[in-house]
């Protein structure tokens, strides 16, 4: 037996495995607290980002969500390839990472006992970008909503159009806007919920077309980035520019709703419309 035996040091989990850090106030708290509080900071009230499935779990009545159009996916007509790899490889990596097949999850459900067509974008899938698959799912959802007389509820979370698909991605702005136009012609309401972040081609199309446009506190909502605008107009923008509060103050948003109140508020609106 040796004079000295070094005992193996106990493995200590890294801080990231134990603690959640609020991106806004940088407060540290246990990850379970973050999860139990619906990803809302208990110190400053910052609303963290949710996956599509987490959001559906909060909004749809338990056991009522039935996914549709999962087979509708991306299009790689351009065979796009850049210095970091092919578009196809990027999408397949996103599918493996998130378990989703596109940047929006669509399905029928009930919200507070009211039937609805529910769509939720997932920012973790390629930045929630608007691609041909995303646009097709929204267009088909509008058609099914008209056929079944269901109101449409969409949660947006996006960096904008998916430029890997070129003009085909930009075309989805017109395509989705036209589909929502047909929904409104059929006398069906559309509730648009803009979450953090909603920018680019999504904010410039279907996200702002709701009969009522609502958002969560402090969500980033805009089109071009802050630096791009300042460099273009050569002016300093207000500190709260492109925030949910700024947009509500200037009439672009109808109401800011806390996450814990979101389901009840949507159900109230659906009841108001008689669905």
Domains with residue ranges and CATH for the chain: 15-46 (no CATH), 49-272 (3.90.226.10)
Q: What is the pLDDT of residues 82-109, one digit of tens each?
A: 999 999 999 999 999 999 999 999 999 9
DSSP secondary structure letters along 30-79: EHHHHHHTTTB-TTT--B----HHHHHHHHSPTT--EEE-TT-----TT-
Q: What is the pLDDT of residues 27-61, one digit of tens each?
A: 888 888 878 888 888 888 888 899 999 999 999 99
The neighbour count for residue 63, using CB atoms within 10 Å, is 8
Q: Is the pLDDT of residue 1 over 70?
A: no
What pLDDT score was predicted for residue 4?
56
The neighbour count for residue 82, using CB atoms within 10 Å, is 9
Q: What is the pLDDT of residues 174-222, one digit of tens each?
A: 999 999 999 999 999 999 999 999 999 999 999 999 999 999 999 999 9
Alpha-carbon gap, residue 120 to 158, rounded angstroms: 11
Secondary structure (H, E, C), 93-144: HHHHHHCCCCCEEEEEEEECCEEEEEEEECCCCHHHCECHHHHHHHHHHHHH
Cβ proximity of 168 and 158 under 8 Å: no
**Helices then strands, each counted (H, E), the chain:** 10, 11
HSE-CB at 247 with a 13 A cutoff on CA atoms is 25
């Amino acid at each position: 037996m040796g004079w000295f035996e070094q005992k193996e040091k106990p493995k200590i989990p890294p801080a990231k495995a134990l603690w959640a850090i609020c991106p806004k106030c940088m407060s540290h708290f246990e990850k379970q607290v973050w999860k139990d509080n619906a990803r809302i900071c208990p110190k400053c009230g910052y609303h963290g980002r949710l996956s599509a499935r987490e959001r559906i779990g909060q909004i749809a009545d338990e056991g009522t969500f039935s996914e549709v159009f999962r087979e509708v996916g991306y299009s790689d007509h351009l065979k796009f390839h850049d210095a970091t790899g092919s578009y196809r490889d990027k999408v397949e990596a996103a599918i493996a990472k998130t378990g989703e097949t596109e940047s929006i999850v669509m399905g029928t459900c009930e919200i507070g006992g009211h039937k609805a067509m529910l769509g939720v974008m997932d920012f973790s899938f390629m930045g929630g970008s608007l691609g041909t698959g995303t646009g097709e799912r929204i267009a088909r959802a509008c058609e099914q909503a008209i056929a079944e007389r269901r109101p449409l509820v969409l949660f947006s979370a996006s960096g904008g159009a998916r430029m890997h698909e070129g003009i085909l991605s930009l075309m989805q702005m017109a395509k989705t806007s036209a589909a929502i136009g047909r929904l409104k012609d059929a006398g069906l309401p559309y509730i648009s919920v803009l979450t953090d972040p909603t920018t680019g081609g999504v904010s410039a199309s279907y996200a702002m077309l709701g009969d009522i446009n609502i958002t969560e506190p402090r969500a980033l909502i805009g089109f071009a980035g802050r630096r791009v605008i300042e460099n273009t107009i050569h002016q300093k923008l207000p500190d709260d520019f492109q925030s949910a509060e700024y947009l509500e103050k200037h009439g672009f948003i109808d109401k800011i709703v806390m996450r814990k109140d979101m389901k009840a508020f949507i159900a109230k609106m659906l009841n108001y419309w008689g669905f």
